[in-house]
Amino acid sequence: MDVLGLSGKIDRIFQLNFEKGEELGASVSVWIDGREIISLADGYCDRDRVRPWDDTTLVPVWSATKGLASACVLKILDEQSLSLDVPIVEIWPEFRQSGKEKINFKDVLTHGAGIPALEEQVSVFNYKEVIKAIEMQVPLWEIGSGHGYHARIFGFLLDEIVRRLAGMPLGQYFDENFAVPMGLEFWIGLPQKYYSRVATLYPGKMSNPGGEEAFYKAFMDPESLTHKAFGSPTGVGGVSGMNLSNAWSAGWPAMGGIGTARALAQFYSMLVNGGEWNGNRIISRSAITLMGEPLVSGFDKVLCIENAFSAGFMKDRNDLNRRRIFGNSIHAFGHPGAGGSHAFADPENGLSFAYTMNQMNYGVLPGPKVLDLVDAIYGIE
């Protein structure tokens, strides 16, 4: 790979995003075979352009957190010899209520558990009440009949699994087993001493990205499953809610991760390297295999698009005309976040990628400002 030529091409696209007025502050990090070959950062942390953005700027990445959270669960399941077919009730007996006794780890990790939303109105800040509501919730579809993105509930399900198996919150588990051993500047539950480094998020301008019309129509309908899934549990006031310190420190595994693009790309680089970092085994190869293997594929009952998931990670599908979000390798996997943050691993090419920003755009999946960078890396015209 011509690293110098690629770096220049990526830099031009990156700067064009700012020139077109689509970005305020952003970072991109690309790793090949365990080494960061591209690191770009520019812009500002706020619209007043008082705080410059650099490669140490922290920013909430919304659902890009889900990949890291899923890795925590897969690591624990592997170390305790629990397969994805094991019912959740074996480690969480209270979960069996309301017809959920057959739901297994695979169902949870592939968004097939049937509980993307809760009938009971509980606050996202009240962990115990959310868990009680999950235990009481009746599945909203027959288990095994399909999948639907568990936008917020996904994180609470994974958190409780980690607490039951490891005796600690998922955010703490991630810190002790991934972040600290690897030196990652990424947290699922940000310590107060880092608050001053967090960039301010700004909502995107109203638009209707091509191919996602069904999602936006459903999202605007208060009675739809889509609308309910993205607002359950309650208590986060849109984008502005993620600019508050109580949200930064809450440690929501589905949407509360905060860190740098470098940290995200480094995490995925470790997965590309078979789970090792600096000679230390971080996670097993068998757990990583589950990350790359598509387990469900089809119409997503919440996102209203055709998509695919492995055990906790998104996958591209080859049979769709939609633009690929993970390059051109069928083995790639990762997870985007609302507004444009994105991160993935491509074991086939020894590559990992991450993008973070604070000016969000509309779209369920990453848009052109991110995918132009990904396409450039793969030479896709």
Whose tokens are 């305020």? That residue is: 24
pLDDT at 171: 98
**Cβ neighbours of 94 (radius 10 Å):** 13
- Residue pLDDT, tens place only, 33-65: 999 999 999 999 999 999 999 999 999 999 999
Q: With a cut of 80, say whether residue 381 has pLDDT above it.
A: no
pLDDT at 336: 98
pLDDT at 18: 96
Q: With a cut of 70, say whether residue 1 has pLDDT above it.
A: no
Residue 323 makes CB contacts below 8 A (sequence gap 6+) with 371
- In DSSP notation, 286-317 reads HHHHHHHS--EEEEBTTT-SEEEESSSSEE--
pLDDT at 265: 98
pLDDT at 22: 84
- Residue pLDDT, tens place only, 80-89: 999 999 999 9
Q: With a cut of 90, say whether residue 3 has pLDDT above it.
A: no
Per-residue confidence at 208, pLDDT binned at 50, 70, 90?
A: low
User: Which of these ranges, 54-63, 163-172, 290-299, 356-365, has the smallest mean pLDDT?
Assistant: 356-365
- Is 284 within 8 Å of 275 (Cβ atoms)? yes
pLDDT at 207: 62
Mean pLDDT calculated for residue range 303-315: 97
Per-residue confidence at 206, pLDDT binned at 50, 70, 90?
A: low
pLDDT at 342: 98
Residue 281: strand pairing partners: 276
- In DSSP notation, 162-202 reads HHHHHSS-HHHHHIIIIIHHHT--EEES--GGGGGGBPPPB
What does the DSSP 8-state code read for residue 224? Answer: S
- Is 316 within 8 Å of 366 (Cβ atoms)? no
What CATH class has 52-319? alpha beta
Mean pLDDT calculated for residue range 9-26: 94
pLDDT at 61: 98
pLDDT at 102: 97
Top-confidence residue, 6 or 80? 80
Mean pLDDT calculated for residue range 305-311: 96
- Residue pLDDT, tens place only, 221-254: 999 999 999 999 999 878 999 999 999 999 999 9
Residue 52: strand pairing partners: 44
Q: With a cut of 80, say whether residue 211 has pLDDT above it.
A: no
pLDDT at 318: 82
φ, ψ of residue 189 in degrees (nearest 5) = 115, 85
**Cβ neighbours of 311 (radius 10 Å):** 25
The H helix count followed by the E strand count for the chain is 14, 13
pLDDT at 2: 73
Top-confidence residue, 266 or 364? 266
Q: With a cut of 70, say whether residue 209 has pLDDT above it.
A: no
Angle at 137 between CA 132 and CA 138, to 5 degrees: 155
Mean pLDDT calculated for residue range 153-177: 98
User: Which of these ranges, 39-53, 203-217, 240-254, 304-318, has the smallest mean pLDDT?
Assistant: 203-217
Q: With a cut of 90, say whether residue 212 has pLDDT above it.
A: no
Whether the link from the prior residue into 233 is cis, omega within 30° of 0, is yes
Spell 226-254 as b/e; 16+ CB within 10 A means b.
bbbbbbbbebbeebeebbeeebbbbbbbb
